[in-house]
Amino acid sequence: MARSCFSKVDEYGFERPGDFDYETYEDFMSQYLIVLAERAKKWAKLIGEGKSLKRSLTVKRYVRKGIPGEHRGLVWLTVSGAEALREEWGSDFYQRLLSGPMNQDILDIVKTDLPRTFPENIFFSTGGHHQQQLYNILVAYAHDNHQVGYCQGLNYIAGLLLLVTKSEDTSFWLLKGLVERIVPNYYTRTMDGVITDIDVLDELIRLKVPEVHRHVSSIGLPWAVITTKWFICLFAEVLPIETVLRVWDCLFYEGSKIIFRVCLTLIKRNEVSLLQCNDLTSLAECFKEITRDSLVMRCHDFMQQPAAASYLQSGHGGMFLQTLVPVYQTTRSDTNIMRLTLYLGNQQWKRTSEWAVFDLEVCAHNVTSLILSTSLSSSG
């Protein structure tokens, strides 16, 4: 084919793989650039008119259709609640962490992980100017949250936040909001949140893609082996970069149910291929391939796939919540009460502290009642 008009390095600094399909990508981008230009105009108008980015059908629709790169940092910070968190803790909190006492063990662990973070990215390669900024973010957060400290996987999350926002401070607050509010207990030493959510995904697959569930179970490949990286990295280093960012647009606004939607879409869409695998090796390889197919590259088309949307609705009667309750019930704890609370509250905790606490108390009451009623009906 003729020489591509796209360089070997994308706009975020990632080198394209040697087998990158430039022809398919150019075909997609010729249409997607038009979509991006139209979305950028609408977002610029929304933000330029000083309209609120609080929850509304308009903002939700805009987010689902994609946030233009030039607005992502601001929109993520606002809709995720990270901006409210920064106001609560003080705008100088990040700098105070960096200037405070440091644990040498944490510093050494972070330094060891830095070269492993996006080594193919020109901004993070040895001497890349983002390496020091990433180091600062990870060290500051480890000293802020002693329960988490530093956990592998945070480097990819913080690194991608930095590539998008180009701001240490903004990336720190987004990381804090994400880890503590949107995906709680994913990055603790026991990884309770990830383990629980993989169990939830297992049950959703059993209900919605039963043939694949039976087939994978018969071969003996645990879902934790397949999907742990999907959850821990929130699809960074799994899906193409622009697709990851479209997923994160929804993640910061709607919460972690988007993770389940994406997982189910990948599996449902590739059901035939997965059922043709007859051993562990071929099945594991197929799960790698389904994250790299042509639709996944076409992020705008991928994010409009209906596979998971109809049965991941929020609310008491939704299939998603009804799947969560029995799984969380098996390890009833304050942690899982909080996780269900966040799902019921659609994970929108960013209003004023007073109203956020009130809303969470109401949701917690509803969750507790729901768990108790489920327990009683099961025992009866």
**Is 242 or 48 the better-scoring residue by pLDDT?**
242
Any domain includes 190: yes
Any domain includes 12: no
Token pair for 281: 């090796």
**Claim to verify: residue 267 and residue 356 sit in the same structural domain:** no
**Is 77 or 22 the better-scoring residue by pLDDT?**
77
**Is 53 or 101 the better-scoring residue by pLDDT?**
101
**Claim to verify: residue 303 and residue 318 sit in the same structural domain:** no
**Claim to verify: residue 162 and residue 197 sit in the same structural domain:** no
Any domain includes 241: yes
**Claim to verify: residue 149 and residue 173 sit in the same structural domain:** yes
- Supply the pTM of this predicted model: 0.82
**Claim to verify: residue 199 and residue 284 sit in the same structural domain:** yes
Of 291, 307, 323, the domain-final residue: 307
Contacts of 88 (CB under 8 A, 6+ apart): 353
Give the Cα separation of 298 and 211 in Å (integer). 27
Please report the pLDDT score of residue 7 as a whole number. Answer: 81
**Claim to verify: residue 221 and residue 258 sit in the same structural domain:** yes
Q: What is the mean pLDDT of the chain?
A: 81
CB 195 within 8 A of CB 224: yes
Any domain includes 216: yes
pLDDT band at 287 (very low <50, low <70, confident <90, very high): very high
Q: How does pLDDT run across 178-214, given as a tens digit for each residue?
A: 999 999 889 998 898 999 999 989 989 998 999 999 9
Collapsing DSSP to helix, strand or coil, 195 comes out as helix
**Claim to verify: residue 353 and residue 343 sit in the same structural domain:** yes
Of 286, 307, 328, the domain-final residue: 307
Domain count along the chain: 4
**pLDDT above 80 (res 222):** yes
Question: What is the pLDDT averaged over residues 104-113?
Answer: 94
**pLDDT above 50 (res 31):** yes
pLDDT band at 296 (very low <50, low <70, confident <90, very high): confident
Please report the pLDDT score of residue 63 as a whole number. Answer: 92
Question: What is the pLDDT averaged over residues 283-291?
Answer: 93
What is the share, in percent, of the chain residues with pLDDT greater than 90?
51
Instruction: State the burial class of residue 271 (Cβ atoms within 10 Å of its Cβ: 0-12, 13-18, 19+).
Output: middle
**Is 356 or 67 the better-scoring residue by pLDDT?**
67
Question: What is the pLDDT averaged over residues 229-245?
Answer: 94
Any domain includes 9: no
Any domain includes 326: yes
**pLDDT above 70 (res 346):** no
Please report the pLDDT score of residue 51 as a whole number. Answer: 63
Any domain includes 138: yes
CB 22 within 8 A of CB 8: no
**Is 331 or 231 the better-scoring residue by pLDDT?**
231
Which range, of 17-31, 155-169, 328-342, averages the lowest pLDDT? 328-342
Residue 324's domain spans which residues? Answer: 313-380
Amino acid at 134: L
**Claim to verify: residue 102 and residue 70 sit in the same structural domain:** no
Question: Any idea what the CATH number is for the domain that residue 250 is in?
Answer: 1.10.472.80
**Claim to verify: residue 145 and residue 195 sit in the same structural domain:** no
Please report the pLDDT score of residue 363 as a whole number. Answer: 42
**Claim to verify: residue 113 and residue 63 sit in the same structural domain:** no
Which range, of 11-15, 49-53, 120-124, 238-242, averages the lowest pLDDT? 49-53
Any domain includes 64: yes
**Claim to verify: residue 157 and residue 262 sit in the same structural domain:** no
**Claim to verify: residue 211 and residue 252 sit in the same structural domain:** yes
